[in-house]
Structure 1
């Protein structure tokens, strides 16, 4: 069955006239008439739109050897295995668009939560410095309690954002952990969105990193001018918070494209490594961090375990992925 006949049958099955179908597609009735008469062929964007509108795969629409009755068979085949016997997770165009939209929405909220965590001690540090440098109308205890209250409130809001968005994204975990079987046209749509976001990604990452690097300047300037370092620290945290917001937001959105294209940190070999050692590795790191911290009581220094563990995990992951 050719594409023209499939479009006609699907339209009639929905009970739409050519005018009603044209409205839903955003084209003229003459275009619908030409498609159904085989006098012209809709472009790929319109075919993808029809796929979503009628709830059928693009394969069934485009391949003449497949009929509309084959849709059930085609859907079942999407859960087939690859050459290595791995079960592939089916990804339709609708699921891909939904995932990218949810990640883009969550990116802003998660990045804002991270920014709040970084900025949370600013008021505490500022009031402590101001109370010592100037004659204030409140006591040291009042300043400390005010700063701690702001810190707890900001961290509380951040944690709420992390939990809510984490639960909303939980249903998409298989996309990040399983090998994918993307439907026809999905890769093209994702690559197009990735190309459109590439300039913003490069800009945000560059600005964010530069802000983090330059954030130490306020402290240096305060020391040069013999001013209190606390105010420089406040400005440092503010600059870092904005820089990290840009980095986290851009990274999450960019990461959603890599997930669907199985690129970067989401290639199939890396997914295998994550399944094999991820949980065990980070469990050991957490145990080591807590043990060393409680034994030495050097909490201000033991945080270094986490960035070191992150670098080592990347090295181990690359080594195992090559095998």
Structure 2
């Protein structure tokens, strides 16, 4: 096939009109029509753009005798999912790089917000350790004010970061295809990140173990260790907050790579589940936050209520898997 026939064949396989292809390449519909009827040839920049849009090599477009590799062939509608949507959005290298740069910033903000939630009771616990936890004491009032400010700052970080990432929602909801050469470029960045992620997870686990030691070693009943026992809870929360920061940050960045590769929780099938679960997830995590805060405020169990977060994560995972199985059975019928 010559280049005109290849352009027409690929466009039809994707189910695009000449106008839609023209919009993706940045030319007029008449230009696409001329290319397909061999009335004109696209210049080298447009050929490169066509290769990105179709997810094929430049060599394939230019060499008449070269066939499309099996691994590069356009997915059929049955590959895309139960929604029968044959539109595949192609992600360019520039889009992928911008997305990962913004994801790293987003990960730092969300990890910082979660750490603030965990650290919020620390000022109040320190005041209690000082024996100043009286309603009329200025330090007690300041500690409550700091708690509210830290929670407010964490919520603000989550909201602002969520808005900044809203332009990339299509990666979580639409079926995508990485342009020619994009997957290889992204994988070159992902390989060193995997080693970095392993180091951070190991460091976080170590901090969690160390954080539990003060409460184990020091007992309130021991008059010599009672002073140290009082500050064991703040120390534990600080270390746990640092560990959670590491876990959340690398987790979000890893999730960003998974979205581009459409792996793990971001296959087309999982994307359908996520869309169905989205309203529930928002209500669920708000409820978890209230469950975390209420026992702390009413009973002062700040050194114990942090356990709510990992438990809530496990419960959410179970609910997610059960719902995924339900949808799969529904689709199989």
Indicate yes or no: 2:225 matched with 1:226: yes
The within-5 A match list for 1:306-317 is 306-307=312-313, 309-317=315-323
Q: What is residue 169 of structure 1 aligned with on the other side? A: 165
Alpha-carbon distance, 1:286 to partner: 7.0
Number of the residue aligned with 2:206: 210
Query: In the superposition, relative to structure 1, how do residues 286 and 190 fare at CA in structure 2: closer, same or farther (>3 Å)?
Result: same
> Secondary structure, in 3 states, of the residue corresponding to 1:63?
helix
Cα–Cα, structure 1 residues 172 and 285, in superposed 2: closer, same or farther, change >3 Å? closer
Unaligned runs of at least 5 residues, structure 1: 3-49, 68-77
Q: Cα RMSD (Å) of the superposition?
A: 4.0
- 1:111 is matched with 111
Q: Name 2:22's counterpart in structure 1.
A: none
Tell me the secondary structure at the aligned position of residue 90 of structure 2: strand
Describe the superposition over 1:116-152 as per-residue Cα deviations: whole angstroms up to 9, x where unpaired: 221121111101121269xxxx985212101112112
Q: TM-score, normalised by structure 1?
A: 0.66
> How far apart are residue 172 of structure 1 and its match?
0.6
Go from structure 1 to structure 2 and tell me whether the alpha carbon gap of 1:51 and 1:236 turns closer, same or farther (over 3 Å shift). farther
Distance across 1 between alignment mates of 2:165 and 2:204: 25
> 1:171 and 1:153 mapped to 2: Cα distance?
29
Partner Cα separation in structure 1 for residue 246 and residue 45 of structure 2: 35
Residues 310-319 or 58-67, more deviating: 58-67
Q: 2:142 aligns with which of 141, 146, 168?
A: 146
1:209–1:314 distance in 2 versus 1, CA, 3 Å: farther
Deviations 1:145-170 (A, max 9, x none): 01112112222222222121110001
Give the SS at the match of 1:90: strand
The partner residue of 1:192 within 175, 188, 192 is 188
1:64 deviates by 3.7
Contact 2:175 2:268 in 1 (8 A): yes
Deviation of the 1:205 alpha carbon: 1.1
Matched residue of 2:226: which SS? coil
Shift of 1:248: 0.9
Paired with 2:150 and 2:288, the residues of 1 have a C-alpha distance of 29
C-alpha displacement of 1:244: 0.6
> What runs of 5+ residues in structure 2 fail to find an aligned partner?
4-43, 65-73
Distance 1:290 1:201, change over 3 A: closer
Find the counterpart in structure 2 of residue 125 from structure 1.
125
